[in-house]
Amino acid sequence: MNTRRIETYDTTLRDGTQARYINVSVEDKLALTRKLDEFGIDFIEGGMPGSNPKDEQFFQRVRELKLHHAKICAFGSTARDPEAVATDDNLNRLLASGAPVVTIFGKTWHFHSRESLGLTDDQNERLIFESVSFLAQAGREVFFDAEHFFDGWKDNPAFALRMLQAAERGGATRLILCDTNGGSLPDEVTRMTQEVVAAVRTRVGIHAHNDGELAVANSLAAMDAGAMQVQGTINGIGERCGNANLCSIIPNGILKRGWNMGPANGNLHRLTALSHFFDEVTNQVPDHRSPFVGQSAFAHKGGIHVSSVLKDARMYEHIAPELVGNERDVIISELSGRSNILYMARKFGMDLGDDRKFSADFVQRIKTLEHEGFQFDGAEASFQLMLLAELGRFIPYFKITYAKVNDSFSHDGTRYAESVLKVQVGNEFEHTAADGNGPVNALDKALRKALSRFYPRLNDVHLLDYKVRVLDGHDGTSANVRVLIESGDGEDIWSTVGVSPDIIEASLGALSDSINYKIYKDQESRKES
């Protein structure tokens, strides 16, 4: 391992919450803090004391947490007036937060200092020096965020360096170079970071934004050039286009560069879980295309790819997914080959052996169904039932012989939906009805009501998600629709699909697969026990 120790600094709770559609409570922030600490992040920026009641409450309550590794940081700006640093409200609120580390930002772009603050060079230098010195003398470790540093260095490198050196003289223990507008390129970041590292004694860090889709690349470039601290957010959330994504930086640093990133090295296998936890708490839909942690990061669809992966996954995977807590996936689609079918069969515990004719026939059936509108890459339960049926290992547990749905609503918003079903189980028939919040909900309730006498554990099943897509929209109202349903029973989650020109029939097909899968799963579980 590389002997260089790279510090990790998470600003999700501050910079990340400035992202559009992100809103978290104090309890959320405390839960996220615990997760970051468990993972091994070195510094956690909690917010801006004094900017809002939520952040003030966070800094009060975070003291109650028994953190194992991370240090809490409070974030703010330099004082407003170099003549009144000791009485500056912002600086005193930073001290009152009780955070052991304080990160303050100051202007290092001559244009910004002159036009935004109206300060002379001497005044801006003094403002930075006095602010850092005031906090350091109060016993806090101080990190200085050089705002707009790279733009400032391009504009006037002498001014930018002078401001960094002012923070250094004041007692800052880290000088963080910020690509605040996110417009720098990796070669620029490399050159400027090298020049700064050569000119100062204090450790340098990098804080990159993603406006040019280069935040991760710029962060890695800065560390290659000598930066010892990297700042970013989980999943790259943040202002505008986001911040540098720690979920990409950390595995690249550890696996590709061999850097020592502290406890995170030993917890890298928890990275995917950490990413998904943050999405869950912040109520975001996980980006399945995210490198390292996304559901599609190690997914293979093309038959040639899958054939190679079955022989040696290194042919189409830059790392083993297990290293970051992810898993390999093979997608069944019209692009599938025999290898896709073999892989999925093994995943479900089935050995197809060398039955090439079966595999070829089944692949052709998949392609035909996908041409009709079926989609199995998001409906593995339907695919598994179909494969089992082809192998003669599964026969549907029930048959719907009659279905009727009434759905009505009035001008005042009142809505009523009722489903009537006749279901055959063996030689017995159940005739049931149920109302619901819309026709699909009524169908779901009626079907489980009809089957609950035969399969009581169906009461555990809940409909988690329902998606409809109109296929071949040029056909208008006669177009096929595809319905994808996600179901769960408290232990597992599975997805099924139905296709028909009739949305009710498509929904009923997906619901039937969902219920059949639950019954099959329970019966197989009983056999194993």
Note the pLDDT tens digit of each residue in 464-493. 888 888 876 555 555 788 898 999 988 889
- Whether residue 286 lies inside any domain: the answer is no
Mean pLDDT value of segment 162-173: 98
| Residues 382, 430 within the same domain | no
Domain that holds residue 165: 7-281
Any idea of the CA torsion for 404, 410, 413, 416, to the nearest 10 degrees? -20
- Residues belonging to the chain: 529
pLDDT tens profile 277-308:
999 899 888 898 999 999 888 876 665 665 66
Q: What is residue 355's predicted lDDT score, i.e. its pLDDT?
A: 62
| Residues 211, 319 within the same domain | no
Q: Are 141 and 103 in contact (CB under 8 A)?
A: no
Could you tell me the CATH number of the domain that includes residue 69? 3.20.20.70
**Percentage of residues in the chain having pLDDT higher than 70:** 87
Instruction: Tell me how far apart the alpha carbons of residues 511 and 483 are, in angstroms, rounded to a whole number.
Output: 9
| Residues 322, 440 within the same domain | no
- Whether residue 291 lies inside any domain: the answer is no
pLDDT tens profile 220-256:
999 999 999 999 999 999 999 999 999 999 999 999 9
pLDDT tens profile 100-154:
999 999 999 999 888 878 889 999 999 999 999 999 999 999 999 999 999 999 9
Tell me the whole-structure pTM to 2 decimals. 0.74
| Residues 38, 145 within the same domain | yes
| Residues 517, 378 within the same domain | yes
Closest CA relative to residue 150, chosen from 182, 116, 113, 104: 182
Is pLDDT at 341 greater than 90 in this prediction? Answer: no
Q: Classify 506 as helix, strand or coil.
A: helix
| Residues 450, 492 within the same domain | no
Sheet arrangement for strand 462-470: 462-470, 481-488, 493-500
| Residues 214, 101 within the same domain | yes
Instruction: Tell me how far apart the alpha carbons of residues 207 and 301 are, in angstroms, rounded to a whole number.
Output: 36
148: left (phi over 0), alpha (psi -120 to 50) or beta: left
Q: What is residue 478's predicted lDDT score, i.e. its pLDDT?
A: 57
Instruction: Tell me how far apart the alpha carbons of residues 219 and 259 are, in angstroms, rounded to a whole number.
Output: 14
Which pair of structure tokens corresponds to residue 223?
């560390």
Listed in sequence order, the DSSP H helices in 414-502 are: 439-451
- Whether residue 208 lies inside any domain: the answer is yes
| Residues 318, 269 within the same domain | no
**Percentage of residues in the chain having pLDDT higher than 90:** 64
Strand partners, 72: 44
| Residues 353, 381 within the same domain | no
Domain end residue (candidates: 281, 307, 330): 281
Rg (CA), the chain: 29
Which pair of structure tokens corresponds to residue 528?
């194993």
Q: What is residue 529's predicted lDDT score, i.e. its pLDDT?
A: 64
Q: What is residue 332's predicted lDDT score, i.e. its pLDDT?
A: 55
pLDDT tens profile 175-202:
999 999 999 999 999 999 999 999 999 9
- Whether residue 287 lies inside any domain: the answer is no
Could you tell me the CATH number of the domain that includes residue 406? 3.30.160
Concatenated DSSP letters of 128-139:
HHHHHHHHHHTT
Mean pLDDT of the chain: 89
Please count the structural domains in the chain. Answer: 4
